[in-house]
């Protein structure tokens, strides 16, 4: 290892490439991972009512996985009418489909949702409107489309409102366009249709209590606590079990936060991966520091001579820092490019089925964090030899600069300066 460090130090161009490329890899990976963590778990969700919105699951009593419980349309009617702690309850499902959009066949997903779905989340369309209770009751064939679909197939034209798309060869009139970051319940959903239309013209079994194919979201009233809502849900579930033992026996309502539903059961894995990559960043910075220290050792005689000629500690520090700050800049720019590439891979991978991930972008705070860590490590490794060298006696520096001496006297000289600095 020491032989490699000496070789790199003698090859000035290679020295710069090794430091810059190492920084690029470390900064790029760490920045990309921080962006994932920040998007999924730190940054507020892009739904105004998210802090007090919950996904309500109807699960078997004692189930270990509360996120797997679905409910039927009659269950939803009971839930929305009997739990007073919620200001609103919305219904949704996700179904793959082939859409007929402006002359194109689009393989995607659509979500039949209730009229309260959008108001529960607190989200409004950027163009047009969403459907209401009357349209739900009448079973009107109306739909709201995503910003992505609007831009790709309608060129962001306001005239898209009123156009007709087809789902399973059934026409739906576009009445609204949702904002770019609206991706609930999943990133693959491009169209939200009126669930009333599905109930009106779909299979008769959709209205049966034992046909549990939907999920519910609910917004907690500002003057109510989650504990109160859970107590009401427990009463309602017991009532449903008594009234409908065939479909409601041994079932109960459980709630999860909106963020927990969106991100799934990967929280521990994501944080563990982020911590591991952060530790890798620090280990890499230490290795770079060792390389700089090895280079600084070979310059100890030069620094000692500068001291003998009257150079100040500040001048020595500036001389040491100048070349390595350039490496930090080069490595940082390359790291920014690498992190952008990595985030593109995440967006195009299977991970993009999660909401929010498809909107991953480079965030300045993450880049500054990684770059700051690398810069501090390199600065400490560069400044320390300069400060210690300012304590070296000129005579010792001249003797260490003699070509007859190996690297061992240089190490001794460094340690001697360290002892003087104390």
328-355, pLDDT tens digit by residue? 777 777 888 888 888 888 777 655 556 6
Q: How many CA atoms lie within 13 A of 344 on its CB side?
A: 7
> Mind listing the pLDDT tens digit for each residue in 248-297?
788 889 999 999 888 877 778 888 888 898 888 888 877 777 777 666 66
50, part of any domain: no
Domain shared by 243 and 156, yes or no? yes
259, part of any domain: no
Structural domain range at position 29: 2-44+265-421
pLDDT at 226 over 90: yes
Of the two residues 119 and 36, the one the predictor is more confident about is: 119
Of the two residues 40 and 8, the one the predictor is more confident about is: 40
404 band by pLDDT with thresholds 50, 70 and 90: very low
Round to whole Å and give the CA distance between 112 and 127.
20
> Could you give the C-alpha distances from 324 to 8, 187, 206, in angstroms and in order?
15, 43, 67
pLDDT at 219: 96
Residues 6+ apart with CB under 8 A from 374: 23, 26, 27, 281, 285, 288, 328, 331, 332
When pLDDT is averaged across residues 405-415 and rounded to a whole number, the result is 45
260, part of any domain: no
pLDDT at 114 over 70: yes
Range among 13-17, 70-74, 206-210 with highest mean pLDDT value: 70-74
52, part of any domain: no
Round to whole Å and give the CA distance between 132 and 90.
12
* CA terminus-to-terminus distance, the chain: 30
Domain shared by 300 and 195, yes or no? no
- The structure's pTM equals 0.76
Q: Give the ranges where 54-103 is alpha helix by DSSP (H).
A: 73-82
Domain shared by 325 and 417, yes or no? yes
In the chain, % of residues over pLDDT 70 = 76
pLDDT at 313: 67
Structure tokens at 66: 């509360």
Domain shared by 413 and 376, yes or no? yes
7 band by pLDDT with thresholds 50, 70 and 90: very low
Domain shared by 145 and 294, yes or no? no
Ranges 93-102, 249-258, 311-320: which has the least confidence: 311-320
Q: Reduced to 3 states, what is the DSSP secondary structure of residue 120? A: helix
Q: Report the number of distinct structural domains present in the chain.
A: 2
Round to whole Å and give the CA distance between 12 and 388.
24
Round to whole Å and give the CA distance between 140 and 174.
11
pLDDT at 386: 58
Domain shared by 87 and 190, yes or no? yes
pLDDT at 19: 76
**Most distant CA pair in the chain: distance in Å?**
98
Average pLDDT of every residue of the chain: 80
When pLDDT is averaged across residues 356-369 and rounded to a whole number, the result is 73
DSSP-derived secondary structure letter, 208: S
113 pairs with which residues across the strands?
A: 92, 194
CB 202 within 8 A of CB 150: no
Domain shared by 28 and 110, yes or no? no
Is the backbone peptide bond immediately before 185 cis, with ω within 30 degrees of 0? yes
53, part of any domain: no
Domain shared by 326 and 387, yes or no? yes
> Could you give the C-alpha distances from 280 to 23, 169, 268, 309, in angstroms and in order?
11, 53, 18, 42
56, part of any domain: no
Domain shared by 96 and 236, yes or no? yes
Of the two residues 289 and 24, the one the predictor is more confident about is: 24
pLDDT at 391: 60
365, part of any domain: yes
Round to whole Å and give the CA distance between 218 and 221.
9
Domain shared by 178 and 296, yes or no? no
Domain shared by 232 and 290, yes or no? no
pLDDT at 403: 46
Round to whole Å and give the CA distance between 213 and 102.
30
pLDDT at 160 over 80: yes
Round to whole Å and give the CA distance between 305 and 315.
13
Domain shared by 409 and 366, yes or no? yes
Ranges 35-49, 142-156, 321-335: which has the least confidence: 321-335
257, part of any domain: no
């Amino acid at each position: 290892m020491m032989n490699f460090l000496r070789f790199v130090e003698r090859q000035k161009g290679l020295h710069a490439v090794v430091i810059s490329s190492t920084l690029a890899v470390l900064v790029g990976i760490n920045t990309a991972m921080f962006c994932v963590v920040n998007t999924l778990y730190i940054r507020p969700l892009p739904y105004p009512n998210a802090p007090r919105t919950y996904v309500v699951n109807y699960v078997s009593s004692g189930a270990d996985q509360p996120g797997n419980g679905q409910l039927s349309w009659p269950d939803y009617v009971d839930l929305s009418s009997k739990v007073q702690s919620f200001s609103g309850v919305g219904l949704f499902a996700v179904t793959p489909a082939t859409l007929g959009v402006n002359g194109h066949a689009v393989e995607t997903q659509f979500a039949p949702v209730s009229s309260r779905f959008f108001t529960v989340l607190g989200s409004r369309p950027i163009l047009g409107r969403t459907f209401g209770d009357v349209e739900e009751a009448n079973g009107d064939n109306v739909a709201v489309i995503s910003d992505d679909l609007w831009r790709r197939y309608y060129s962001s034209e306001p005239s898209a409102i009123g156009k007709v798309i087809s789902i399973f060869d059934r026409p739906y009139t576009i009445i609204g366009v949702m904002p770019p970051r609206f991706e609930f319940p999943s990133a693959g959903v491009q169209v939200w249709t009126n669930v009333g239309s599905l109930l009106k013209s779909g299979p008769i079994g959709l209205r049966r209590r034992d046909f549990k194919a939907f999920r519910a979201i609910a917004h907690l009233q500002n003057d109510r606590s989650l504990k109160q809502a859970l107590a009401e849900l427990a009463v309602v579930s017991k009532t449903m079990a008594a009234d409908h033992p065939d479909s409601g026996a041994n079932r109960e309502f459980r709630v999860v936060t909106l963020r927990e539903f969106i991100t799934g059961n990967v929280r521990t894995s994501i944080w563990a991966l982020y911590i591991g990559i952060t530790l890798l960043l620090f280990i890499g910075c230490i290795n770079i520091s060792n390389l700089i220290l090895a280079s600084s050792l070979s310059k100890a005689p030069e620094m000692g001579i500068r001291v003998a000629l009257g150079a100040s500690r500040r001048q020595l520090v500036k001389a040491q820092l100048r070349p390595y700050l350039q490496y930090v800049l080069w490595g940082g720019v390359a790291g920014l490019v690498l992190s952008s590439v990595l985030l593109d891979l995440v967006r195009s991978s299977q991970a993009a089925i999660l909401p929010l991930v498809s909107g991953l972008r480079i965030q300045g705070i993450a880049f500054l964090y990684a770059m700051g860590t690398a810069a501090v490590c390199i600065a400490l490794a560069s400044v320390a030899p300069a400060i210690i060298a300012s304590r070296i006696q000129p005579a010792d520096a001249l003797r260490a600069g003699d070509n007859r001496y190996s690297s061992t006297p240089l190490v001794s000289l460094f340690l001697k300066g360290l002892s003087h600095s104390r």
